[in-house]
Amino acid sequence: MQNLRIALFFLFCTTNIFSQYTDIINSNRPSLSKSPFSVGTDVLQFETGFFYEDKTYTHFSDVSSFGTNLSIRYGKFMEKLEFVADVSYRYDDVKKDVLHIPNNYKSYGISDLTIGAKYLIYRQEYDDKSTEVRSWKRRMAYDWKRLIPSVGVYAGVNTNFVGPDYKDPGITPKVGILLHNELSPRFNVITNIIGDKLTDKTKSNYQYILTVTYVLHQDWSIFAENEGNFNDYSDEFFAGIGLGYLVNQHLQLDISYRNALNVDLKNPTFSAGFSWRLDRHIDSYTDLNTADEETIEIQREPFFKRIFKKRYKKKEF
């Protein structure tokens, strides 16, 4: 009887109450925005991909680039906290033509290495409409609290551990506000407002990213994104679309395409990658029927034992 009570309690009191951990991987790819939610304590997650872009400014320059991006996410100490390291490696073939004077060169190496952390300040809770049995109107009514976003903050530094072709003088801060609206169980909106390289007057940049995701199927999701960058030299706007496929609960594949919206800028970018996590999270909850509020921990099976299991089990009749 006690085992049954534990199972039912864990079923109804989901991770929404006790943690941000989810049984299925929660990746930021293939979008550029960051969710305010962490991966969960004792979860190490890798999000990586390869890209090719051709950035052309009319009558000025043409830069063909390819490379890889890697984001390492790790949850530790508390469910609301996550540590993040972002690194990029790229190869650029630059062709410039200023006043009909050609200037061609190539550069390659680590172009970006940023280390930071994000913390969830506020998490919006939603009404469980399935428990409303006395009124069909109330059960079907829209939960207007979904318009109020969950809020997180990000703080990090752009290190100078990059290739010689991409070095900046010293390190610079990067900060951001991360918003998440779950407008429906399938439809989500993520908004980021970011200030980058704030102490470098020549390269400081302010950015917004608006990402819309929709779950087509339990394994398939699509996204659309709008990005804007503002600095002393130019204002640039981009749009992108992408597709994600869930291979299993720990592995996701993705592809995406982006381009610039400015008249004098063309920037087609293709990307493909994957997200994978090493899950050592331990679920815990409090048995409300015990007077001393004893915390019971549920030990998950070893990761490599779970990953080779079949995702779906046959129903028993």
pLDDT in tens, the chain (317 residues): 444 443 433 333 333 334 567 888 989 999 999 999 999 999 999 999 999 999 998 878 899 999 999 999 999 999 999 999 999 999 999 988 766 667 888 999 999 999 999 999 999 987 776 666 677 677 777 778 899 999 999 999 999 999 999 988 889 999 999 999 999 889 999 999 999 999 988 889 999 999 999 999 889 999 999 999 999 888 999 999 999 999 999 999 999 999 999 989 999 999 999 999 998 878 665 454 544 444 444 445 554 455 445 444 444 43
Task: Please report, as a single letter, which amino acid is at residue 274.
Answer: F
Given CA atoms 83, 155, 242, 71 in this order, what sign does their dihedral have?
negative
314 found inside a domain: no
7 found inside a domain: no
Gap between the Cα atoms of 119 and 185, Å rounded: 23
118 found inside a domain: yes
236 found inside a domain: yes
45 found inside a domain: yes
Domain boundaries, position 104: 20-280
Gap between the Cα atoms of 116 and 260, Å rounded: 28
CATH of the domain at 241: 2.40.160.40
Do 21 and 40 meet the contact criterion of CB atoms below 8 Å apart?
A: yes
Q: Strand 265-266 relative to strand 269-279: parallel, antiparallel, unpaired?
A: unpaired
Do 249 and 308 meet the contact criterion of CB atoms below 8 Å apart?
A: no
219 found inside a domain: yes
307 found inside a domain: no
Task: Please report, as a single letter, which amino acid is at residue 231.
Answer: N
Task: Please state the pTM of the whole predicted model.
Answer: 0.81
The total domain count for the chain is: 1
Counting every residue, how long is the chain?
Answer: 317
291 found inside a domain: no
